[in-house]
């Protein structure tokens, strides 16, 4: 007997919390209320190992005997606000369109320590590390990064060297590139 009791439907909600160490978290359905289980494997299939609290997320869900569960992540939009509350040195004055105009650089996470509030990534083909600030991570829709995780960065030259202005999941960039090629 199948554990799935209904067809998948699309739901948009907000991330209530997600704990990468526990391997799951919950989404609050914006239309119907109620919690939706988000398992780490479903998030990994989207190309991310974490997601920021309060990020908007669109998922395909199914009702199971254990409750409603996400079966596929369709999109993640980082949480709103925060730029004025927590300005980041080097990014002051840059708006979203200026950041979006920066080139994407493929990278792997070297290490990230959420407690310290920063980490570093290695950009393919470049010898120097790229600094990643926890606020840039949160504004990009992530809660944490795992060593070795494949990501794409938009990078600026900061006072102390290269620093990430935006972080995107490797898979989301690949999906955007494929969609762009199909439209051309």
> What is the pLDDT at residue 11?
93
Q: 127, 181 in Cβ contact below 8 A?
A: no
Nearest to 96 by CA among 166, 167, 172: 166
d(Cα 174, Cα 46) in Å, to the nearest integer?
A: 11
Spans of the chain, pLDDT less than 50: 1-4, 83-84
DSSP state of 93: T
> What is the pLDDT at residue 178?
59
> What is the pLDDT at residue 155?
94
Q: Against a cut of 0.85, is the pTM above it?
A: no
> What is the pLDDT at residue 177?
59
How many residues appear in the chain? 184
Domains in the chain (CATH in brackets) are: 9-77 (2.40.50.140), 96-177 (2.40.50.140)
Q: 68 burial class (0-12, 13-18, 19+ CB within 10 angstroms)?
A: buried
Q: 138, 164 in Cβ contact below 8 A?
A: no
DSSP state of 97: H
Give the number of other CB atoms < 10 A from CB of residue 77.
Answer: 12
Nearest to 59 by CA among 31, 80, 22, 100: 31
String of DSSP letters for 3-61: S--S--EEEEEEEEEEETTTTEEEEEETTT-SEEEEEHHHHHHHT-S---TT-EEEEEE
> What is the pLDDT at residue 143?
87
């Amino acid at each position: 007997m199948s554990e799935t009791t209904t067809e998948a439907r699309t739901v948009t909600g907000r991330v209530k919390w997600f704990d990468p160490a526990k391997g799951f978290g919950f989404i609050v359905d914006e239309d119907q209320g109620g919690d939706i289980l988000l398992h780490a494997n479903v998030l990994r299939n989207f190309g991310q190992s974490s997601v920021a609290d309060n990020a908007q997320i669109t998922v395909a869900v199914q009702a199971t005997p254990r409750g409603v569960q996400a079966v596929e992540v369709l999109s993640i939009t980082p949480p709103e606000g925060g730029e004025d509350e927590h300005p980041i040195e080097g990014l002051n004055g840059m708006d979203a369109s200026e950041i979006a105009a920066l080139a994407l650089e493929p990278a792997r996470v070297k290490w990230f320590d959420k407690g310290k509030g920063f980490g570093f990534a290695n950009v393919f083909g470049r010898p120097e590390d790229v600094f990643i600030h926890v606020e840039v991570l949160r504004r990009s829709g992530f809660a944490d990064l795992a060593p070795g995780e494949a990501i794409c960065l938009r990078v600026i030259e900061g006072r102390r060297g290269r620093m990430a202005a935006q972080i995107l999941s490797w898979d989301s960039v690949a999906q955007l590139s494929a969609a762009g090629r199909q439209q051309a």
